[in-house]
Amino acid sequence: MSAPVITKTSLAWEPQPLRGAFGFKGGSLTELWQVRCFLATDSGLAASGRSVQSVLWSDGAVFARWGERAGNERMLALTRYALELLEGMALSPPPEMLQVLLPAVLERGRALTEADGLRATFALNALTGIDWALWKLWRLHTGCPGFDALTAPYRAAAPIHAPALGVIPLLSYDTPEEQILSLAEQGCFLFKIKIGADPDGRGDREQMLRWDAGRLAQIHRLLQDRDTPWTDCGHPVYYLDANGRYDTAERVERLLDAADRMGALERIVLLEEPFPEDAPQDVRRLPVAVAGDESAHSAADAARLMDRYGYRVMALKPIAKTVSVSLEVLQAAQERGAACFCADLTVHPAMAELSKRFAAGLAPLPGLRVGVFETNGAQNYVNWKAMRRQSPAWGRPWEEPRDGLYRLDGEYYRTDGEIWTEE
């Protein structure tokens, strides 16, 4: 059977406002652009793939130079360029197609942003919706029944079928105390805390360290006496996300020393992306597990972080860095016995379902007694309830958490959580 050829592509997008300034990496967002890519072949196959643009996350330097709207315009133009490249290409396994697209898209991205050092994550973020649409087409073309079978060639270990997943909420710089307490009342037990603040916009690392320590102390004061059955320590635990804002291991150690003095060190199960990707450092002496995220653009990047620098966890972002790259990173991590989990990018509910299905096949992180995945759209989007109604999973039993957990039954795995259903 000859491979179908992609003959038609199109692009749609809309901005979705956020409830308030969403702060991280020393900057903040007010909206996120929702993108849908459509692909059709000469054999009559058709599929769409969603993505969300986050210029601040994918390349903070581009965001600082162009600002929110102009940065989004450039990423959207890059997605449009990638769709043009696809027309006339024969369908093949999506990781192979991504290998063809990525170098050209990255090169065009450098021109569009006028940034010779453009991070590969910017290009991957622009390609995420396209990659997901390609996976949908590949499933239709091959007749592969579901997610496990389709992704099996790209895993080093067989997937599990987790009976439940805990939700990881995000605490940004500005998340108020009442919301943190509300999340705890809802049963949340692993809290992602954004650190690396720049409170006065001066880039003062010492001031950043003091602010981060104070923020952690504030959150720990609210949560320290609560109990949960889903962690080894019996209490809520923390996942610190630095987004590359720390410059030295010594400064990270000072933050962790402060955490130890306040009784919070044993609660820190993850420290993600402490250093800039162009200045990685050995983390083996740090008393917490360190995870890679933005700096793992490929399996080779992930392997380098684990082998050379001692990273023990990889954050997977099928909704931000493509399903294809996430599978490659997962394989590299599984070959080394490292743990993995799925992190969010404040995505649309339909994309959150894709991340959930990916996470449902992963073992729990060390320190936890159940699997987890991050989703924070409900906290941050103004129109979250209306967006939920656009998801094929809307109203299904696994769509919303109960007591901090998503329950995943046989029907969930039979349908793959409706991730293949077109909207």
Residue 171 maps to a domain: yes
Tell me which residue has tokens 């958490």.
Answer: 401
Provide the pLDDT for residue 198.
86
Co-location of 135 and 282 in the same domain: no
Which stretch of 42-46, 195-199, 416-420 has the lowest confidence by average pLDDT?
195-199
Distance of alpha carbon 53 from alpha carbon 199, whole angstroms: 25
Residue 218 maps to a domain: yes
Residue 97 maps to a domain: yes
Domain end (from 104, 124, 144): 144
Which stretch of 24-33, 351-360, 393-402 has the lowest confidence by average pLDDT?
24-33
Give the phi and the psi of residue 348 in degrees, each rounded to 5: -60, 150
Co-location of 37 and 97 in the same domain: yes
- Nearest CA-CA partner of 321 in 306, 301, 349, 350: 301
Co-location of 268 and 297 in the same domain: yes
Residue 26 scores a pLDDT above 80? no
Residue 79 maps to a domain: yes
Residue 72 amino acid letter: N
First to last CA, the chain: 29
**In the predicted model, what is the mean pLDDT of residues 19-43?**
91
- Specify whether the CB–CB gap between 371 and 360 falls below 8 A: yes
Spell out the residues 6+ positions from residue 76 whose beta carbon is closer than 8 angstroms to its own. Answer: 11, 13, 33, 35, 53, 126
Spell out the residues 6+ positions from residue 194 whose beta carbon is closer than 8 angstroms to its own. Answer: 23, 24, 170, 171, 172, 173, 241, 243
Domain range for 86: 6-144
Distance of alpha carbon 311 from alpha carbon 283, whole angstroms: 7
Co-location of 180 and 112 in the same domain: no
Residue 1 scores a pLDDT above 70? no
Domain end (from 144, 175, 191): 144
CATH number of the CATH domain containing 312: 3.20.20.120
Provide the pLDDT for residue 423.
86
Number of domains in the chain: 2
Co-location of 132 and 245 in the same domain: no
Domain end (from 127, 144, 161): 144
Co-location of 242 and 336 in the same domain: yes
Co-location of 357 and 383 in the same domain: yes
- Specify whether the CB–CB gap between 114 and 29 falls below 8 A: no
- Specify whether the CB–CB gap between 45 and 61 falls below 8 A: no
Residue 1 maps to a domain: no
**In the predicted model, what is the mean pLDDT of residues 145-157?**
92
Tens digit of each residue's pLDDT (9 = 90 or more) over 173-207 = 989 999 999 999 999 999 999 999 888 888 899 99
Tens digit of each residue's pLDDT (9 = 90 or more) over 239-285 = 999 989 999 999 999 999 999 999 999 999 999 999 998 899 999 99
Provide the pLDDT for residue 24.
79
Cβ-count burial of 147 within 10 angstroms (0-12 exposed, 13-18 middle, 19+ buried)? buried
CATH number of the CATH domain containing 140: 3.30.390.10
Co-location of 13 and 121 in the same domain: yes
